Structure 1
Amino acid sequence: MIRLAACQYAIELLETWDAYAAHLTELCEAAAARGSQLLLLPEYAGLVLSGQLPPDERSDLQGSIAGIQPLIPAWRDLCESLARRLRLYLLPGSLPVLDSDGQYRNRAWLFGPEGCLGYQDKLMMTRFEREEWNIVGGREGLRTFDTALGRVGVLICYDSEFPLLGRHLAEAGADLILVPSCTDTVAGFHRVRVGAQARALENQVAVLQSPTVGLAPWSPALDENVGRAGLFVPPDRGMPADGVVAQSSELCPALSQWLYADLDLEEVRRVRSHGQVFIRRDWLEQWQVLEPRR
């Protein structure tokens, strides 16, 4: 049994590095005190660093992501030190990173007790990211991370709405998929939530979602945020009948709060061999029949 913590992360204006570091440290320490072994923060949670920029810079869509680039090394060091000290796995959300080819990519690092395990870039861009923000999709595909808790994959927000991306992670051996999300409407939240639950169903894996919440008029990228944290599994023998292990009660709390959930990954794996249905196996068999006809 492992304990997971997914944050409904309220976007706050933190105007100094010390204020931000204290904020993230307090948040992570609170989850660690509850016995959490893996902490998930949402997509673009790292963009809260832009609160440290001058008001005219942080209120500029392009200027805000350019302005935070010098802060990213210290942010990564802080996240890594928290994961090492608290002896847990931490995905502190994502943020736009200026890549070696001069393009910005939406990147999420995973840290553990042993340090940095690597990163996952978002692959599928929303219209806002593509048309207004000039952020491009990742060029390295999907990867999995081996942890003491099990093999983990990451689908950043919109990526979770594409079945073949989830399937790729499942075939690579992921038992748990992390979905950090950032949505500014109830409809957007539900698209990601439905996608997350669908990926759990069709691949017979567990999926953990963490959203941004709250209003941040000082940020043109994070001005409105709506969502619930949740942990989803395939509805089957030994699992919740609706596939929902846990979900936050409020759609948009005023302050950041953790959703804690205990998960037995062995029970999730058991569904794939002893469940009422074998969706994962049957999907593959049918795909092999259909593939030659394409």
Structure 2
Amino acid sequence: MAEAADPGKVKVALCQLHVTADKEQNIATAKAAIEDAAHNGAKLVVLPEMWNCPYSNDSFPSYAEDIEAGPSPSTDMLAAAAAAAGVTLVGGSVPERSVGKLYNTCCVFDHTGKLLAKHRKTHLFDIDIPGKMTFKESLTLTPGEGPTVVDTAAGRLGVGICYDIRFPELAMLYAKRGVQVLVYPGAFNTVTGPLHWELLARARAVDNQCFVITCSPARNPDASYQAWGHSTVVGPFAEVLATTEHEPTTIYADLDFAQVKERRANLPLTQQKRHDLYELVDRSSSSSKQ
């Protein structure tokens, strides 16, 4: 893969949205947040996981949209909003229905509203911590086919969704493909979030010497699933550039892409790997888009 272009400095906005059972209201809330982010100078806007519906296996089938065949009011709004605002938009994720299957899907749009890539959550969130948290996405959702790397005006992005951040091999594969920013729309919970959310973002950043973005829904006390919130931007030296608590808000950070080159030059980890002892094997398709 060719070397990624250097976009210089890019202002990113993470929209930590209040999500309810009212789909039309959720769409309106997301649209307004994108508009506000662009008005405040953001050129890259990121939404959270499952922003158009409650995070539950009961919700996924009834809120799902066929993104390719339509109708898809959620992604149609995203495309129009990206074009109107003139931003690169990582559209969080929504439940997608395709050929009889359901996916947890993130769409990436350019500043003209063109769909650049579609990432389906690769690792499904199946967890059982007795007495604290039990959730199995696999009861309703199908895992995605592989990694998603996309070149945008805001840099080369590697997309994961929530649980995908726990698998360092995926992030390493992205870094090997020249990704400058790892983007994870997510909805960690109040059990694992306090210990793992920031830890994992900083770990993926320090391992791969790139920016890491994690964008969560705001916490909704009325929901059955309590999101951790704390949307965060981490720099390529594992420094927290911006973060927040769990209320609805938008946070901003400046991504200076010279920092990626500088950190990789100062600590040339890729040149120092012992390929005679171990290696990362990429078995995915050579195509960067799903």
Question: Higher helix proportion, which one?
Answer: 1
Count residues in correspondence.
259
- Residue 260 (structure 1) aligned with residue 252 (structure 2): yes
**In structure 1, what is the equivalent of residue 233 of structure 2?**
231
RMSD: 2.3
Matching residue of 2:285: none
Shift of 1:30: 1.0
Please tell me whether residue 36 in structure 1 is matched to residue 42 in structure 2. Answer: yes
1:179 corresponds, among 164, 181, 184, to: 184
Tell me, yes or no, if structure 1 residue 281 matches structure 2 residue 279.
Answer: no
Distance change in 2, residues 1:186/1:82 (3 Å): same
Mark the CA change 1:166 to 1:66 in structure 2 (over 3 Å): closer, same or farther.
same
5 Å-filtered alignment, 1:112-261, equals 112-114=110-112, 115-127=114-126, 128-130=135-137, 133-139=139-145, 141-188=146-193, 190-215=195-220, 217=222, 220=224, 223-235=225-237, 243-248=239-244, 250=245, 252-253=246-247, 256-261=248-253
Secondary structure, counterpart of 1:135 in structure 2: coil
Query: What is the TM-score normalised by the length of structure 2?
Result: 0.81
- The alpha-carbon deviation at position 279 of structure 1 amounts to 2.7
Structure 2: any 5+ residue segments left out of the alignment?
Answer: 1-8, 127-134, 281-290
Given residue 269 of structure 1, which amino acid in structure 2 is its aligned partner? Answer: K
1:260-284, Cα deviation, whole Å (9 max, x unpaired)? 00111122222212x1x223332xx
- Distance, in Å, in 2 between the alignment partners of 1:261 and 1:203 is 19
Alignment partner, residue 98 of structure 1: 97
Please say which of residues 263-272 and 185-194 is displaced more in the overlay. Answer: 185-194
1:23 positional shift: 1.9
What amino acid does structure 2 have at the position aligned with 1:159?
Answer: D
Q: Distance in 2 between matches of 1:130 and 1:209?
A: 20
Which secondary structure does the structure 2 equivalent of 1:199 belong to?
helix
Any conservation in 2 of the 1:204–1:271 contact (CA below 8 Å)?
Answer: yes
Q: Structure 1: which 5+ runs fail to align?
A: 51-60, 236-241
Q: Which stretches of structure 1, 4 residues or longer, exceed 4 Å deviation after superposition?
A: none
1:88 deviation in Å? 0.1
